[in-house]
Amino acid sequence: MAKQKRNAQETKLKILTNAKLLFSKQGYDATTVDDIANASDVNKALIYYYFKNKSGLYSEVMSGLFDAIYEEVVNSSKKCNSVVDELEVFIYSYASYAYKHPYFPALLLRELSDSGAHLPEMMFVSMRRLFSLLSDILKRAEEQKVFKHSIAMVVHFMIIGGLNLMVTTKPLRVKAMKMDKDIDTCADCLVDDVAEFIFETMKNSLEVR
């Protein structure tokens, strides 16, 4: 009666996509399995068939996202020929990914405010992998006497925090702009301008002169 046999892979992907969207928009708790099933035009039980349970689905969503962003950053940084370049590329490619997938920053921030309550291991590993990319850049830059010594973890969070908050607060900032023209909330800044500003800030500050 219903449209069955619709290709397993495709169905699974559809579920993942909708889950990603809903989780990011509403958070883990506020998103129900029913929501996801309806959005995906799929029976609720099927979600359990594919993903064991809600938290399993969430994990799979998050892994996907982390893998993707890692790929993006790593790939982009291949064609670099200086550590400073590498930092720039790190920031730009993270920024561009964040803007292209605006659910990601929300999910990441939420996860970090929970100290990773929902997904212990995988999240953890992926985060560290990303951080060690930056950490490594900074270390090499220091060895090459291009950058001063810095606290990599804090640099990382200034970059990630700055970019993520710019993405997640976009609607808030637009609203603020409409209410009070005097305060500039950067409501229609472009990604690249933000990324550039962050990069320049870091370079300026860290560079050995």
Partner DNA sequence: CATGAATGAGAGTTCATTCAT
Partner DNA sequence: AATGAATGAACTCTCATTCAT
Residues that bind its own copies (CB under 8 A): 26-30, 105-107, 109-110, 112-117, 124, 127-128, 131-132, 135, 150-155, 157-162, 164-166, 168-173, 175-176, 180, 183-186, 189, 193-194, 197-198, 200-202, 204-206
Tell me which H or E stretch contains 15.
helix 8-30
Q: Which letter, b or e, does each residue of 63-74 get, where b requires 16 or more Cβ atoms within 10 Å of its Cβ?
A: eebbeebbebbe
Smallest separation, CB 22 to DNA (Å): 10
Q: Which of DNA, its own copies, none lies near 45, with the C-beta cut-off 5 to 8 A by kind?
A: DNA
Considering CB distances under 5 to 8 angstroms, the limit depending on partner class, which of DNA, its own copies, none binds residue 6? DNA
Cβ nearer to DNA, comparing 30 with 174: 30
* Strand ranges in the chain using DSSP code E only, listed in sequence order: none
Of 209, 205, 175, the closest CA to residue 87 belongs to 205
Q: Provide the minimum distance between the beta carbon of 65 and DNA in the complex, in angstroms, as a whole number.
A: 20
How far is Cα 101 from Cα 93, in angstroms, rounded to an integer? 12
181 binds, options its own copies, DNA, none, Cβ within 5 to 8 A by partner type: none
Closer to DNA at the Cβ: 4 or 204?
Answer: 4
* Minimum CB–partner distance for residue 108 and DNA (Å): 21
Q: Let me know: does 187 contact 176? Beta carbons within 8 Å.
A: yes
Residues 6+ apart with CB under 8 A from 141: 83, 84, 87, 147, 206
Nearer to its own copies, 4 or 115 (CB): 115
The nearer residue to DNA, 50 or 70, going by C-beta atoms, is 50
Burial class (CB in 10 A: 0-12, 13-18, 19+), 188: exposed
Residue 144 interaction partner, one of DNA, its own copies, none, beta carbon < 5-8 Å per kind = none
Nearest-CA neighbor of 163 among 193, 124, 122, 204?
193
Query: Residue numbers of the site for DNA (CB under 7 A)?
Result: 1-8, 11, 31-34, 42-46, 48-49, 53-55
